Amino acid sequence: MNIRSKILIILMFFPAMVFAQEEADTVKHWTAGGNSAFNFSQVSLSNWAGGGKNSVSGTFLFNAFLNFKKDKRAWENTLDIGYGLTQQGDENLVKTEDRIQIVSKYGIQASERWYYTALADFKTQMDLGYKDPPENTIMTSKFMSPAYLLLSLGMDYKPNQNFSMYLSPLTSKMTIVNDDQLSNQGAYGVDPGENLRSEFGASVKSIYKKENLLQNVDFNTRLDLFSNWTNHPERIDVEWETKFDFRVNSFLSAHLGTTLLYDHDINFVDAEGVEHGPRIQFKQLFGFGINYKF
């Protein structure tokens, strides 16, 4: 059985085992919703003396949640998908956004604000990524290369509906590089020729969200931290994501998002293919377009 099959089995059976305990419950204990947006921009030039290139870009964003709450039990599930492309003139398409993240968190209330909690967090991407766009000759990523799976046990602090902080001293982090070319390079911290790197340590996942932070402005931020107990625990992996959603009306909106990453196991490779040490990675995305909230 290959790595992809094992991951799919885990993701399929983790929620199924929990759901089996809830089969007698009614729909009233469930809440669901989400948001989808498509941002598009285009520049067309004809005999333009000032110079420039035609360009077109589009970004699709989708997030959804499915939550269960009854008595002392709480089960929270989220799905985040993003994909974007841009093209200038006749150059190759360049990827500007690409992610899939599924998080499932099941807790049993221990006190008014604390829950005993188990969490599964899986993320990867859909399409090929290149180091040298728009030439697109140096491939650096693809579906399941890399992919990350975290399984953990801990305590979840939830003082209100807007904030939660999950603390886990028992976290298993698996880094998957399913592409042999990348695994042979030792990409994303795997040993050369290996497709899987396993780490054991502690993690923190903090989320704050606020609707109408300002009028017609929703805010969401998430901070994930991980420390490997067995290998340089002082080296902390960081993923910090922040989003602002600006509502114009029921169907038009603007989106501003930033993502900061630091992983000591990911080395920076420059445009010539030369490998350097780990560096802070930063991405900023702004778009205006059609939005639908459900």
pLDDT at 269: 67
Token pair 């947006």 in the structure block, residue? 37
The Cα 283–Cα 258 span in angstroms is 6
Q: Is the dihedral of CA 280, 213, 165, 108 positive or negative?
A: negative
Note whether 108 and 115 are within 8 A (CB). Answer: yes
Count helices and strands (H / E) in the chain.
Answer: 2, 14
Q: Is the dihedral of CA 148, 257, 68, 292 positive or negative?
A: negative
Give Cβ neighbours of residue 257 (< 8 Å, ≥ 6 apart).
241, 242, 243, 244, 284, 285, 286
Question: What are 235's two structure tokens?
Answer: 């080296």
pLDDT at 20: 46
Domain ranges of the chain: 3-41+58-293
Identify the three-state secondary structure at position 280.
coil
The Cα 227–Cα 206 span in angstroms is 15
pLDDT at 128: 94
pLDDT at 26: 57
Note whether 218 and 210 are within 8 A (CB). Answer: yes
The Cα 123–Cα 254 span in angstroms is 25
pLDDT at 30: 93
Amino acid sitting at position 200: F
Q: What is the DSSP letter of 190?
A: P
pLDDT at 276: 75
Q: Which CATH architecture has domain 3-41+58-293?
A: Beta Barrel (2.40)
Predicted TM-score of the model (pTM): 0.85
CA dihedral 185, 266, 198, 224 (to 10 degrees): -160
pLDDT at 171: 97
pLDDT at 33: 93
Identify the three-state secondary structure at position 174.
strand
The Cα 15–Cα 155 span in angstroms is 19
pLDDT at 21: 46
* Continuous segment of H or E residues that includes residue 9: helix 3-19
Residues of the chain with pLDDT under 70: 1-27, 269-274
